[in-house]
Amino acid sequence: MASIVLFTHTRWEEAPRIRHQVARLLRDFGHRVLFIERGDSVFKYRSGQPQEVEADIWVDRPLRAVHHQLRVASVLHHLEASMVAPVVRRIVDQWAHGAPDAIVNFAHDGWWLRRAFPSTRLVTIIHDDFEAQSRLPFHSHITWTLRRTCMSSNDVFAVSIPLQHRLQEWCSAKLFLPWAIDPYVAPATDMSAKDVLLFWGTVDNALDLTMIHKISQQRPDLRLLLVGPTQTAGARKRITESLAPLANVEIRPPAALSALPIDRVLAAILPYRGTPAVDAVTLANKSMQLLARGLPLMISAMPNYLEQPFIVRMDSPDGVNGAIQRIQTGFLPWQPMIRAFLDHHSPQSRLVALGFLVP
């Protein structure tokens, strides 16, 4: 059993993303995991000790002096590292009784982890286009730390093809896509009963409301069901008000797929609007869970999305109706392809890629 530290800018209680999934993946294959989450400000920080939140998964947080988006000069990066590194070393030493066996870093500004743990294997997973998401009208400060983080890592992975290409300037980054968490479940075969298009994810500003209006208006015979959380109450209110006139659109709070009328779902929709962050997506994190229920994907924007017969574009020249007709025709014939795709992208395959499992 190895002791593995995950370093992130995410709180454990947030909606599960790839950081949480990697933590559970490592745990499920016999490792102890420490999930170091986003730090507290120096005014709120209280030194504690790692808490076990699930079997063999512990969580703790360091302090944070300056938000990572606001460290606009190298001196601020070095100041942050000088304050955070000793706290992280103390947390890890208390938990692992020395240096951990490996660190999986999800932070673009984790360059100082090599100095803090010079003999530990350091694996970095770049999961967002941090430069494109800069809150400031420039991003050289993000490039500064991203470059150093990649160059100080033993292995670097990227969750999309554009990110992989971006990192090649500094390292031999490998592609790391989501994997099949859930086993494949054959869907109901009564096509006449499938009258729902399901969005299952964060109901937030990334959604293309114009596309949702178009689907609703062109296909009044289908029901659009949007299920998931929203980061802010303001965004939820704006989206709800925009979609309120559409009689065949319903917004629901977060729910498990098992609690939804899956037998009536024709396809899962990913109606995103084009942004630099969305453009970089190669495979959305939730896609594997949707595919595991036998649901084809109907997408918009995301020009670098993985191409498969069961992933259909609704912003192609064929439009919304063309996409829906393709899905109605292909739904049942595609099921063996979907199952084979999930088998190929198994949890074991990702552990092999990360180097934590011998093939």
pLDDT at residue 223 tops 90: yes
Confidence band (pLDDT; 50, 70, 90) for 46?
Answer: low
Cα 311 → chain centroid = 18
**10-19, 50-59, 191-200, 295-304: least confidently modelled range:** 10-19
CA distances from 311 to 192, 270, 273, 284, 289 (A): 21, 10, 17, 12, 14
- Structural domain includes residue 354: no
- Structural domain includes residue 353: no
Confidence band (pLDDT; 50, 70, 90) for 204?
Answer: very high
DSSP category for residue 292: T
- Structural domain includes residue 347: no
Residue scoring higher pLDDT (232 or 27): 27
Same domain, 274 and 134: no
Supply the pLDDT for residue 17: 87
Same domain, 234 and 330: yes
Same domain, 314 and 196: yes
Q: What is the domain count for the chain?
A: 2
Supply the pLDDT for residue 92: 96
pLDDT in tens, 92-142: 999 999 999 999 999 999 999 999 999 999 999 999 888 877 777 778 888
Residues pairing with 124 in the sheet: 105, 156
Q: List the structure tokens of 273.
A: 């609007």
Supply the pLDDT for residue 128: 86
Supply the pLDDT for residue 325: 97
Same domain, 149 and 200: no
pLDDT in tens, 48-98: 689 999 999 999 999 877 776 667 778 888 888 888 999 999 999 999 999
CATH number, residue 43: 3.40.50.2000
pLDDT at residue 237 tops 90: yes
Residue scoring higher pLDDT (214 or 130): 214
Same domain, 236 and 309: yes
Decide: 100 and 3 in contact? Cβ < 8 Å: yes
pLDDT at residue 44 tops 80: no
CA distances from 213 to 173, 199, 248, 257, 323 (A): 39, 14, 10, 24, 16
Q: What is the DSSP string of 190-242?
A: -GGG--EEEEES--STTB-HHHHHHHHHH-TTSEEEEE---S-HHHHHHHHHH
Supply the pLDDT for residue 293: 98
Same domain, 301 and 325: yes
Give the residue numbers spanning the domain of 99.
3-176
Supply the pLDDT for residue 278: 87
Supply the pLDDT for residue 43: 63
pLDDT at residue 42 tops 80: no
Same domain, 279 and 140: no
